[in-house]
Amino acid sequence: MSELPPPPGPPVDTSVPYVPPPGWNTLPPPAAPRAPHPTLPIQVAVGAVVVLSVSLLASKYVLDALVGFEWPIVVYVVLLALLGYGPSLVWCKVASDRWGTGQVGRDLGLTPRWTDLAWGPLVWITAVGCQIVIGVLVLVLDIPVSNNTDGITELQADRTYVVSIVITAVIAAPLVEELVFRGLVLRGLLSRTHAVTAVALQAVLFGLAHVDPVRGAGNIGLVLVLSGVAAAFGGAAYLLRRIGPTVVAHAIFNGVVLAIVLSGVADRLDDESAADRPDAGTELVEQGSTG
């Protein structure tokens, strides 16, 4: 059998090994594994919930005892902020010093970044979606629901009161509550349980922290709705490993609710919907700020 003729072209020197060109048939380096979410001991979470719950209840009873003095409203708002949120800030520092690095912002993921201004609105939209879904279920199932903005419109003529309540609801409450629930509580729960369970538990605890005995059965629907909002915040805090975006989202959430209530839009919508269903009103809109 005759040999085939060599292919056309210059002869190939088979004595020199073939070396593929740089970058040929090479895979990109594997991505570095994502760092686990920082955790804190479970006692940090338990302490945070106890401190905040006790301080909020105590502040309401103290204010009820002092309301007879008829001080300027701004005084009562400042007292509510100091008595209700001050002890939680102290606990954040104690927890950071004892179980962390001593730097509260670093231990709780509060180090601010410019990207927080972009992530915050996205987290807020997600939280509003959760609020609407659960709010609809609450109304369909006829679960008693109240809101924690009652009485604000009755005092909105007092400019000092408006300014002080805005500062409390848009600055103090979002910062402190995010430090507590998406900082201390979430990281404490993550040390003992799965991420999904931790996010769900901190959401329920957040809703329960807003229970007020005065609202009675209306607390049931309010807790469900606020738990849905807190689940969105908790999920974002876990995925982003930080709470800066949730602080921004929380502030937007409270600010929008407060603006609707103080502007009187909610009251006008209530009047228009009363003929069709007096008990529905604008519950989906003003089921309360998270502060």
Strand locations in the chain (E): none
Per-residue pLDDT tens over the stretch 71-117? 887 788 888 889 999 999 999 999 999 999 999 999 999 988 999 99
Q: Can you tell me the distance from the alpha carbon of 165 to that of 152, in angstroms, rounded to the nearest whole number?
A: 9
Specify the pLDDT at position 102: 93
Annotated domain spans of the chain: 42-265
pTM above 0.85, yes or no: no
Q: What are phi and psi of 4, to 5 degrees?
A: -70, 150
User: Would you say residue 16 has pLDDT above 80?
Assistant: no
Question: What whole-number distance in Å separates Cα of residue 208 and Cα of residue 50?
Answer: 12
Report d(CA 59, CA 82) in Å as an integer.
Answer: 9
Task: Provide mean pLDDT across the span 117-138.
Answer: 96
Q: What angle do CA 279, 149, 247 make, to 5 degrees?
A: 125
pLDDT tier for residue 20 given thresholds of 50, 70 and 90 = low
Q: Which two tokens stand for residue 212?
A: 């007020």
pLDDT digits (tens, 9 = 90+) for 240-272: 999 999 999 999 999 998 888 777 655 555 555
Q: How confident is the model at residue 221 (pLDDT cuts 50, 70, 90)?
A: very high
Express as a percent the part of the chain with pLDDT over 70. 75
